[in-house]
């Protein structure tokens, strides 16, 4: 009897607020590191405050682990309310198969086309003129993160670009530290390579290879330089044996390693550890050589559901995610850049401000996920992972690189 009353009470407490049409939406994502989880908590708070209920469906292990689970649930007839994907081709076939909710009316009502900057992010969500996802944040993977204290202890200036970083590596190594932290997962090797490609190779080369898909440029001497620079970098990272990216970032935070090439999301980890940008650590966008950032990002897709109440809630969530307040709160915690140019980010730290400036000046290139299919990205990851932990020569690696890109033409 008692339990029955309790159950009834609980039921009421859930049922009563739903008079104001509160709906549970399960949201799946792979944001599980400290900084990322803090950012997701902001989203949940905002959605709960608006009267609906955020059911968190975090999947640990990174995007490569999480995406198969999400896709299996959507194609298997057990769709969630909303799910994270990277912009671009990852969810393309799901949209084409009609499994995703069309958000065009939300996008028009909220004037996304006017506020989203750079507009390529909205284009990544648009298929045949219809909008299928809500852009959430901008990823820029081309950052070098450096622990200042290591260099202060050594009595040498903190490197201001990749060349100086490589030049100082022998001294770092002599002090018993690992010069470069690198997590041993395929996507991280691929990320490091692409960052070096933008930094060393420059914008023109990057665009020629990845946007114009010029295979002669990919096989050319300029690209070989990028592979040689990567081979240098791999020597610096040879003693780094961790797997996850945040473990590698932690090596930089604790002073075990001097630097890491990682996306802007690494900043969330520094923030959680209580480190101050500019004082405890230095961040160099485009590896300090070319201040260009590629702008991929995360977006939320909304699988089609049968319940009209839930569909309305999905559209409310989509509008909320792009709203200025949520954009500010989320991106400050995550350390990523917001997708709208019209909001006040004065609370941002030094690193984010550097990123915002680059964004404003328009020095942006599209990200790998936007220009290549997951099939090509996976093959590149496998190849890079072998290159970064083996002894493949730069020439061999380049030959295979070209082969793989050709399979995606």
Partner 1 sequence: MAGKPRGLRLFRNLNAKVAAVPMVLTTLVVFVGGTLWTVLYSFTNSKLLPRWQFVGLDQYKRLWSNDLWNAAIWNLAFYGVMSLIFTITMGFVLAVLLDQKIRFEDTFRTIMLYPFALSFIVTGLVWQWILNPEMGIQEVVRRMGFEGFTFDPLHNPNTVLYGLLIAGLWQGTGFTMCLMLAGLRGIDEDIWKAARVDGIPKWKTYLFVVIPMMRPVFITTLVIVAAGIIKLYDLVVAQTSGGPGNASQVPAMYVYRYMFTAQNLGQGFAASTMMLLSVLIVLIPWAYLEFGGKKHG
Exactly one of 12, 14, 108, 243 binds partner 1 (CB under 8 A); that residue is: 243
Identified binder of partner 1 from the candidate list 48, 93, 309, 325, rule CB under 8 A:
93
> Which of 23, 33, 84, 90 is close enough to bind partner 1 by CB under 8 A?
90
Q: How far apart are CA 78 and CA 72, in angstroms?
A: 8
Return d(Cα 213, Cα 191) in angstroms, integer.
Answer: 19
C-beta closer to partner 1: residue 36 or 369: 369
Which is closer to partner 1, CB of 8 or CB of 72? 72
- Quote the least distance from Cβ 76 to partner 1, whole Å: 12
| Among 1-9, 138-146, 288-296, 370-378, the segment contacting partner 1 (CB under 8 A) | 370-378
Please, which residue, 149 or 239, has the CB nearer to partner 1? 239
Does residue number 374 form part of the binding site for partner 1 (CB under 8 A)? Answer: yes
Q: Which of 33, 331, 377, 398 binds partner 1 (CB under 8 A)?
A: 377
Beta carbons within 10 angstroms of residue 140's beta carbon: 26
State the minimum distance, in angstroms, from the CB of residue 325 to partner 1.
Answer: 35
When the beta carbons of 323 and 373 are compared against partner 1, the nearer one is 373
| Identified binder of partner 1 from the candidate list 26, 56, 64, 123, rule CB under 8 A | 64
Part of the chain binding partner 1 (CB under 8 A), chosen from 6-14, 39-47, 143-151, 367-375: 367-375
In the region spanning residues 94 to 133, those forming contacts with partner 1, defined by CB under 8 A, are 94, 97
SS in 3 state form for the chain? CHHHHHHHHHHHHHHCHHHHCCCEEEEEECCCCHHHHHHHHHHHHHHHHCCCEEEEEECCCCHHHHHHHHHHHHHCCCCCCEEEEECCCCCHHHHHCCCECCCHHHHHHCCHHHHECCCHHHHHHEECCEECEEEEEEECCCEEEEEHHHHHHHCCCCCCCHHHHHHHHHHHHHCCCEEEECCCCHHHHHHHHHHHHHHHHHHHHHHHHHCCCCHHHHCCHHHHHHHHHHHHHHHHCCCCCCCCHHHHHHHHHCCCEEEEEECCCHHHHHHHCCCCECCCEEEEEHHHCCCCEECEEEEEECECCCCHHHHHHHHHHHHHHHCHHHHHHHHHHHCCECCECCCCCCCCCHHHHHHHHHHHHCCEECCHHHHCCHHHHHHHHHHHHHHHHCCCCHHHHHHHHHHHHHHCC
- Exactly one of 75, 148, 161, 363 binds partner 1 (CB under 8 A); that residue is 75
If one asks whether residue 291 binds partner 1 (CB under 8 A), the answer comes out as no
Q: Which of residues 163-222 bind partner 1 (CB under 8 A)?
A: 184-185
Which one of 156-164, 315-323, 347-355, 378-386 is the stretch in contact with partner 1 (CB under 8 A)? 378-386
Binding segment for partner 1 among 156-164, 305-313, 335-343, 371-379 (CB under 8 A)?
A: 371-379
Nearer to partner 1, 32 or 378 (CB): 378
CB of 403 to partner 1, least distance (A): 9
Residue count of the chain, please give it: 409
Q: Which of 379, 394, 398, 401 binds partner 1 (CB under 8 A)?
A: 379
Residues 3-42 that bind partner 1 (CB under 8 A): none
Residues near partner 1 (CB under 8 A): 64, 67-68, 71-72, 75, 90, 92-94, 97, 184-185, 241, 243, 373-375, 377-379, 382-383, 385-390, 400, 407
């Amino acid at each position: 009897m008692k339990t029955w009353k309790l159950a009834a009470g609980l039921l009421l407490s859930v049922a009563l607020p739903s008079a104001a049409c509160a709906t549970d939406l399960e949201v799946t994502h792979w944001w599980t590191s400290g900084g990322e989880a803090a950012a997701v908590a902001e989203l949940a708070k905002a959605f709960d405050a608006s009267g609906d209920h955020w059911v968190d469906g975090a999947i640990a292990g990174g995007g490569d682990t999480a995406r198969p689970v999400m896709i299996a649930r959507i194609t298997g007839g057990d769709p969630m309310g909303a799910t994270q994907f990277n912009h671009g081709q990852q969810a393309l076939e799901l949209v084409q198969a009609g499994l995703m909710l069309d958000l065009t009316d939300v996008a028009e009502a909220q004037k996304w086309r006017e506020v989203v900057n750079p507009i390529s992010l909205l284009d990544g969500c648009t298929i045949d003129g219809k909008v299928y996802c809500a852009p959430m944040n901008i990823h820029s993977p081309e950052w070098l993160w450096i622990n200042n204290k290591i260099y202060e202890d050594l009595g040498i200036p903190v490197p201001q670009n990749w060349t100086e970083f490589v030049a100082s590596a022998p001294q770092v190594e002599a002090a018993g530290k690992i010069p470069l932290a690198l997590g041993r997962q395929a996507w991280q090797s691929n990320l490091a390579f692409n960052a070096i490609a933008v930094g060393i190779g420059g914008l023109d080369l990057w665009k020629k290879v990845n946007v114009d898909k010029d295979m002669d440029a990919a096989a050319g001497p300029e690209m070989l330089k990028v592979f040689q620079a990567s081979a240098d970098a791999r020597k610096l990272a040879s003693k780094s044996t961790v797997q996850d990216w945040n473990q590698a970032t932690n090596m930089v935070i604790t002073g075990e390693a001097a630097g890491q090439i990682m996306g802007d999301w690494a900043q969330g980890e520094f923030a959680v550890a209580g480190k101050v940008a500019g004082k405890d650590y230095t961040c160099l966008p485009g590896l300090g050589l070319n201040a260009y950032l590629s702008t991929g990002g995360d977006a939320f897709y909304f699988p089609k559901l049968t319940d009209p109440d839930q569909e309305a809630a999905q559209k409310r969530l989509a509008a909320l995610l792009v709203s200025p307040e949520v954009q500010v709160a989320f991106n400050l915690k995550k350390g990523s850049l917001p997708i709208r140019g019209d909001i006040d980010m004065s609370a941002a730290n030094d690193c984010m401000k550097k990123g915002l400036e680059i964004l404003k000046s328009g020095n942006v290139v599209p990200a790998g996920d936007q220009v290549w299919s997951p099939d090509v990205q996976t093959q590149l990851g496998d190849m890079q992972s072998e290159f970064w932990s083996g002894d493949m020569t730069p020439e061999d690696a380049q030959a295979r690189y070209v082969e793989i890109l050709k399979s995606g033409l």
